[in-house]
């Protein structure tokens, strides 16, 4: 491929050491102008110091966008409706935010007539895949650069030394051994002592959840209301999605709900120990599932359950902007047209347990299921049904008898 000239780039900027060093490195290696971009995806970090840091690092301009609403409604919602949970544990917080960030990078690149977008991910992870595949899907004519994959700064010390040498101010905070990525849908934590999968996670790694052992001794009941698969109210209060998720993170986090400890399979073939905190995600996925139990037709429900692992793989593997994801969404959305109703749960020392569900669209029919008074199920229909249902096995049994 012919190498395009790079005059101006847009960088996904966090204000941390890596992306600050990247600003300078890009200018040095490409002699280009660097536009920084930072998104508020609900990470709960202060973004106010970012413009100053971007400028100090040498960026020509910075854009900060609050994309929480877009993230919640267009990325988190489809994933919740599809019950997308990677390898039975990870609700995909990081994986869902990357395509959104790429979309805005590309958007700003167009605005500035930039030649490339830049991310700070390494060559060993999933995030590089998500950033790049998403950016190329949306803008095949724009380059994607990933300096961390080929620069000569191999350790944190190298980066600090580089920053000092080039007068890039870096925060002198005590270095945490952990790597964090956060947004509305959860916190992802890696590195340090977690790299030994036998090590119990030190209590200090957790940012959003109480230790279940120290969580309140009183359980807390809550109700969630859904309309067409979308959570719309918490404890009777109508809330927009962002507020609902944020409040639920608080509420469930206080009870130690949402801690996940797993070893997962990265797309690049590496197994990786991960800690996640996803209080709202865990509660909403549970509640949503419980509502589907009563509302969805059996076959539709089973089909959705088959598609969930596929959906989560697509998201995990960076294929958000694909026809297949959109096609699956079409099925999922159709399946949730009647998914309206309420679920109640109890939060207690790390668990969120559903203990009630109701819906005007419920298919649950007590006159059919009851063993008490009011039974309308005609049991005389059962013998023929059961006999024919098992007929193939009966025939096979007769063959075995002959042999
Ligand atoms: N393993 C998760 C994923 O691939 C989280 C990665 C988070 N990155 C981080 N810097 N901690 O989605």
Structure confidence at residue 110 (pLDDT)? 98
pTM: 0.96
Ligand 1 center to residue 270 CA distance, Å? 13
Domain spanning 8-67+91-165: which CATH class is it, in words? alpha beta
Structure confidence at residue 170 (pLDDT)? 81
Catalytically annotated residue among 14, 18, 115, 357? 18
Query: In the annotation, is 127 catalytic?
Result: yes
Ligand 1 center to residue 391 CA distance, Å? 51
CB 95 less than 6 A from any atom of ligand 1: yes
Which protein residue's CA is at the shortest distance from atom 4 of ligand 1?
126
Structure confidence at residue 354 (pLDDT)? 98
Structure confidence at residue 173 (pLDDT)? 65
| Contact in structure between 37 and 105 (CB atoms under 8 Å) | yes
- Relative to the CA of 266, which ligand 1 atom is closest? 4
- Relative to the CA of 191, which ligand 1 atom is closest? 11
- Relative to the CA of 190, which ligand 1 atom is closest? 11
Mean pLDDT per 10-residue run, the chain (403 residues)? Answer: 80 94 96 97 94 96 97 98 98 98 98 97 97 98 96 92 91 79 97 96 97 98 98 98 98 98 98 98 98 98 98 98 98 98 98 98 94 91 98 98 92
Ligand 1 center to residue 188 CA distance, Å? 6
Structure confidence at residue 1 (pLDDT)? 44
| Contact in structure between 220 and 226 (CB atoms under 8 Å) | no
Q: What is the fold, at CATH topology level, of the domain defined by 179-296+339-358?
A: 3.90.1260
Structure confidence at residue 232 (pLDDT)? 98
Query: In the annotation, is 46 catalytic?
Result: no
What is the domain partition of the chain in residue ranges? 8-67+91-165, 179-296+339-358, 374-402
CB 188 less than 6 A from any atom of ligand 1: yes
Structure confidence at residue 4 (pLDDT)? 73
Structure confidence at residue 172 (pLDDT)? 62
């Amino acid at each position: 491929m012919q190498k395009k000239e790079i005059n101006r780039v847009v960088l996904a900027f966090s204000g941390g050491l890596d992306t600050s060093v990247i600003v300078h490195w890009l200018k040095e290696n490409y002699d280009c102008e660097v536009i920084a971009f930072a998104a508020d995806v609900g990470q709960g970090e202060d973004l106010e110091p970012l413009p100053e840091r971007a400028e100090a690092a040498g960026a020509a301009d910075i854009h900060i966008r609050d994309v929480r609403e877009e993230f919640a409604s267009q990325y988190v919602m489809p994933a919740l409706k599809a019950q997308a949970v990677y390898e039975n544990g990870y609700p995909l917080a990081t994986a869902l935010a990357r395509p959104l960030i790429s979309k805005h990078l590309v958007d700003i690149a167009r605005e500035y007539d930039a030649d490339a977008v830049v991310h700070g991910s390494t060559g060993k992870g999933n995030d590089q895949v998500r950033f790049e595949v998403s950016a190329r899907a949306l803008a095949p004519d724009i380059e994607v650069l990933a300096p961390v994959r080929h620069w000569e700064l191999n350790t944190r010390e190298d980066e600090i030394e580089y920053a000092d040498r080039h007068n890039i101010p870096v925060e002198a905070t005590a270095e945490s051994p952990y790597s964090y990525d956060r947004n509305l849908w959860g916190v992802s934590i890696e590195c340090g002592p977690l790299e030994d999968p036998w090590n119990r996670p030190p209590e200090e790694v957790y940012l959003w959840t109480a230790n279940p052992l120290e969580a309140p001794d009183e359980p807390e009941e809550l109700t969630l209301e859904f309309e067409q698969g979308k959570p719309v109210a918490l404890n009777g209060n109508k809330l927009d999605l962002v507020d609902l998720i944020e409040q639920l993170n608080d509420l469930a986090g206080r009870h130690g709900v949402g801690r996940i400890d797993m070893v997962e399979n990265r797309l690049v073939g590496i197994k990786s120990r991960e800690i996640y905190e996803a209080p709202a995600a865990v509660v909403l996925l549970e509640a949503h599932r419980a509502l589907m139990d009563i509302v969805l037709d059996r076959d539709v429900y089973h089909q959705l359950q088959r598609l969930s692992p596929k959906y989560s793989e697509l998201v995990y593997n960076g294929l958000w902007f694909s026809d297949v994801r959109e096609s699956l969404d079409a099925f999922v959305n159709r399946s949730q047209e009647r998914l309206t109703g309420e679920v109640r749960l109890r939060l207690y020392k790390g668990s969120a347990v559903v203990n009630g569900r109701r819906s005007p669209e419920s298919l649950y029919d007590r006159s059919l299921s009851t063993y008490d008074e009011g039974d309308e199920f005609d049991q005389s229909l059962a013998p023929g049904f059961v006999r024919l249902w098992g007929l193939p096995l009966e025939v096979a049994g007769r063959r075995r008898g002959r042999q």
